[in-house]
Amino acid sequence: MDFLNISKKLVNFIQKSPSMFHTCSTISKKLDHNGFKCLEEGHVWNLKPGGKYYTTRNGSSLIAFTIGEDLEDYHFQITASHSDSPTFKIKTVPTLEGPDQYIRLNVEGYGGMIDSTWFDRPLGIAGRVLVKDHDKISSRLLHIEKDVLIIPNVAIHLNRTINSGYDYNRQVDLCPLFSSGKLKVSDFNQMIADSLNVDPDAIVSQDLFIVNHQAPSIWGWADEFVSSPKLDDLQCAFASLEALIRSNNRKTINVYACFDNEEVGSNTKQGAMSTFLHDCLRRINFGLGYSEEAYYQAISKSFLVSCDNGHAVHPNHGELTDDLNCSYMNKGIVIKEAANQKYTTDAFSQAVFKMICENASVPIQHFANRSNMQGGSTLGNLSNTQVSVHAIDIGLAQLAMHSSFETAGVKDTLYAIQALLEFYDSLITIHSSNDFMITRG
């Protein structure tokens, strides 16, 4: 499949995933379609070699796995991405009245977004709503696809210094406009109820977020770029999912993890710092009849690829990135490293993944922050607080990370699929001395 067709599939995946709850649902449906069996965390797991399974937590995080048929000396080969993106969460009491007949929404920031990119764009609402039906409470997905909100800029005539830099106050400047007099305060809940075909009194609670409805685009005279909301990190979530579904390894247990709440620190019951991955790997081990000793041996020989996008060199601000350890769009996988250990990459994990990419004929790049700048952290080290395995942090180069509309290279999604498919299909044999060899699984 060529670069353009894969990018179109990526865009379709993103459009079906307006919130972390929808992302989990979209992934679940794709796994169902490809023969994976859903396992409930609260039920007994009946597992067998050759099986394909997945489970979810909170409706917003998901772990899928395939079990090889020849597990003589088994271990786990894991990818991890995340389902959430920076946005604005609607507060439980959602509406602000005035001035005059205006109705605005009361929101707070979720993650570290670029505030200015949310102005003057068509916005919708997505998330989950807890609905009461007699004595039962059920969770419903909600996506209001109609453009129902906008966050208007102040005209330059009223704010002459806006182009000189402006410190946005999220309690004042970032309140979305809902109505200018035609609606009343109660109509917000009525809108939610009508969208779910329930009575407003049946709504118990909700986790709702603002959604940028600007249509994704594959653009450029030579079709070089893809721009969309949520490329960080749905581009990696999509690519690693495609790789898992296409993989076939008889000698390993391949694992796909997509965690919620990375953008707010991951320290939730469904985040990368939770016990979710730890719990699943142990249940797989015991469900296949292995001992606890076998589990610890397997963990020592396992490998994690943390997949979260990285920064491309900015065309107007090349001075913000390291002169040599920097990455560009359409030039392949980015291996991310940091001396402060914010990334898991070390010489050993680099060597493993470089061989994987070489075998897949996928180009690689190296990224490190400028020495006078502090970067962020991601999934690898956070998940390693619960399950300590050899790990590497990789990503795809993009511009405007944490904007409401981000840009990446049209080639890189396919590069990621090819590299991660090679990872899943390979047998990575790690010895206690940190020697390793890679063969086909």
Backbone angles phi, psi at 215, to 5 degrees: -70, 135
Give pLDDT, residue 78: 97
Take residue 5 and report the two structure tokens written for it: 């067709």
* pLDDT of 434 higher than 80: no
- Euclidean distance between CA atoms 92 and 89, whole angstroms: 9
Q: Which uninterrupted H or E stretch holds 266? A: none
Q: Element (H or E) spanning 57, and its range?
A: strand 52-57
Distance CA 231, CA 404 (A): 10
Q: Residue 340 pLDDT more than 90? A: no
Beta strand spans in 111-180 (E): 123-133, 136-149, 177-179
Per-residue b/e over 274-292, b at no fewer than 16 CB within 10 Å?
Answer: bebbebbbbbbbebbebee
pLDDT at residue 1, rounded to an integer: 57
Which pairs from 141-148 meet CB under 8 Å and 24+ separation? 141/21, 141/22, 141/25, 142/192, 142/195, 142/196, 142/206, 142/208, 143/18, 143/19, 143/22, 143/211, 144/191, 144/192, 144/195, 145/213, 147/122, 147/123, 147/213, 148/123, 148/124, 148/178, 148/191
Percent with pLDDT over 90 in the chain: 85
Mean pLDDT, the chain, integer: 94
Fold of the domain spanning 3-85+229-440: Aminopeptidase (3.40.630)
> Which residue type sits at 111?
G
Phi and psi at 217, nearest 5°, equal: -145, 135
Band of residue 73 on the pLDDT scale cut at 50, 70, 90: confident
DSSP states of 389-428 = -EEEEEE-EEESTTSSSEEEETTHHHHHHHHHHHHHHEEE
Average pLDDT of 282-298?
95
**Residue tagged 């979209």 (tokens):** 26
| Per-residue pLDDT, 432 | 76
Q: Domain coordinates of the chain in residue numbers?
A: 3-85+229-440, 87-212
In angstroms, the CA 45 to CA 281 distance is 12
* Predicted pLDDT at 353: 97
| pLDDT surpasses 90 at 384 | no
Is 347:379 a contact under the CB 8 Å cutoff?
Answer: no
Q: For 152-173, how does the pLDDT look when each residue is reduced to its tens digit (9 = 90+)?
A: 999 999 998 889 888 999 999 9
Q: Cβ(253)–Cβ(243) under 8 Å?
A: no
Q: CA-CA distance, 58 to 398, in Å (whole number)?
A: 29
Q: What is the pLDDT of residue 267?
A: 84
Please identify which residue in the block is written with the tokens 């990224």.
Answer: 367
Cα of first residue to Cα of last residue in the chain, in angstroms, is 23
pTM for the whole structure: 0.96
Taking only the tens place, the pLDDT of each residue in 36-63 is 999 999 999 999 999 999 999 999 999 9
Tokens encoding 152? 């208007």
Is domain 87-212 in CATH 2.30.250.10, yes or no?
yes
